[in-house]
A and B are shown apart, each in its own frame.
Chain A
């Protein structure tokens, strides 16, 4: 096997190593990378094992905002109290593979793997997450909603490591919705998925809304146009109908081994209706 591993014990030495060899591949929970390695789709490389970096340790710090260290796993979130403020994180965590994947797979790995079918990314994006990146040249943050540029194309330079993911504490009054449509309940990749949040006032006017979709575009898609259509409007059955049509112009689903474009369009519209109706005219 032509695979080597570096295991640095401080972020500074990890960033030094990356600065001098940008071909190093960060290795976190390995639940994506081991699949590629086994499938023979990885060219020989040297991995940068992140597991010993205490700066990335799985803290779930809550003080006005939530900070997830880059090594935070799905299991860490499921077992923590942050789900009281960020229920979708726990719902999403439960959808990832099954327990043994959740105990190793990390949220940062889910982001950096860049799959359009990722289950963690939509929940993070719906909570306005920011990605903290560090390189030898300094640190910066990118809104997760602006992180993807194309299929597996993202705003991470090869010398950067994701160090943390941060989200503002939601204001009271938001309703959260998360629904993954897959072939079976667990251990299945989505055909379509909606992570939605909505803030209505007492007259059921949409004060603010987030709608993030998986598996219907080359990358995790925040539907800003459909959100814009809803914002400031009274949530009526007509408006919900408009939203189910507007979403069709924003998504770009394809036929693949998991589903068809037609099915994805239809079911995505149904998810939009289900989400809005759950908090809209009927309640």
Chain B
């Protein structure tokens, strides 16, 4: 099955088995390895990406349903050689330790900063993303630091 999709602005043609996970196509076929696998069953959020403007778990998306879609992964956030403000904040505030949850966290946080009305607070926005290292406090602080709302304060 030939499928075309756009990842981080680049167009690709792939011919994977139709139920192959978007996660695996990204990592194995297209070498976008920033997106991580944690649980493989929708619980941890490590594999979070944005597909056609909505937050998705790439371990839950069969590639046949990604045909013609635009996918943004963690690698798509930095622009012009400059880190996204969330990446910078995670770096400065200690929002990342082992790093496995970090790409998904930052993608979910980026989605929240762009769609603040879709969640009541950072807690709800990141509720689908689990971290085994940080205890979340520094992640929340990083997101607050990166949001213009908080940086004015």
A263 at the interface (CB under 8 A from B): no
Q: Quick one: which of A4, A49, A75 contacts B54, CB cutoff 8 A?
A: A75
B18 at the interface (CB under 8 A from A): yes
B7 at the interface (CB under 8 A from A): no
A49 contacts B64, C-beta separation under 8 Å = yes
Could you tell me the distance between the alpha carbons of A3 and B48 in the complex, rounded to whole angstroms? 24
Name which residue of chain A comes closest to B63, CB basis: A5
Interface residues of B in 28-83 (CB under 8 A from A): 40-43, 45, 48, 54-57, 59-62, 64-65
B20 at the interface (CB under 8 A from A): yes
Chain B, residues 98-134, CB within 8 Å of chain A (1/0): the string is: 0000000000100100000011000111011100000
B43 contacts A187, C-beta separation under 8 Å = yes
Name which residue of chain A comes closest to B47, CB basis: A100
A117 to chain B, nearest CB (A): 15
A37 at the interface (CB under 8 A from B): yes
Given A99-B108, A101-B42, A103-B54, answer yes or no on A30-B60 (Cβ-Cβ < 8 Å).
Answer: yes
Chain B hits for A252, CB < 8 A: none
B14 at the interface (CB under 8 A from A): no
Interface size on A, residues (CB 8 A): 29
Interface residues of A in 81-126 (CB under 8 A from B): 97-101, 103-104
Could you tell me the distance between the alpha carbons of A200 and B65 in the complex, rounded to whole angstroms? 47
B21 contacts A34, C-beta separation under 8 Å = yes
Chain B hits for A104, CB < 8 A: 54, 56-57, 60-61
Interface size on B, residues (CB 8 A): 32
Q: Quick one: which of B17, B21, B128 contacts A99, CB cutoff 8 A?
A: B128
Chain A at the B interface: mostly helix, strand, loop or mixed? mixed
Could you tell me the distance between the alpha carbons of A5 and B123 in the complex, rounded to whole angstroms? 37
A151 at the interface (CB under 8 A from B): no
A98 contacts B128, C-beta separation under 8 Å = yes
A202 at the interface (CB under 8 A from B): no
B76 to chain A, nearest CB (A): 17
A34 contacts B125, C-beta separation under 8 Å = no
The interface centre, meaning the residue of A35, A47, A103 with most chain B CB atoms within 10 A of its CB, is A103
A100 contacts B118, C-beta separation under 8 Å = no
A283 at the interface (CB under 8 A from B): no
Name which residue of chain B comes closest to A7, CB basis: B64
A87 to chain B, nearest CB (A): 15
Given A98-B127, A98-B128, answer yes or no on A103-B55 (Cβ-Cβ < 8 Å).
Answer: yes
B153 at the interface (CB under 8 A from A): no
A44 to chain B, nearest CB (A): 10
A1 at the interface (CB under 8 A from B): yes
B residues at A contact (CB < 8 Å):
1, 17-21, 40-43, 45, 48, 54-57, 59-62, 64-65, 108, 111, 118-119, 123-125, 127-129
A-B contact pairs, 30 of them (CB 8 A): A1-B17, A1-B19, A1-B20, A5-B62, A27-B65, A30-B60, A30-B62, A34-B42, A35-B41, A35-B42, A37-B19, A38-B59, A47-B18, A49-B64, A79-B118, A98-B124, A98-B129, A99-B55, A99-B111, A99-B118, A99-B128, A100-B45, A100-B55, A100-B128, A101-B128, A103-B54, A104-B54, A104-B56, A104-B61, A185-B123
Q: A3-B18, A187-B128 are in contact. List 5 more A-B contacts (CB 8 A).
A: A30-B60, A38-B40, A98-B129, A99-B119, A100-B55
3 A-B pairs with the lowest CB-CB distances in the bound complex, closest first = A98-B128, A186-B127, A5-B18
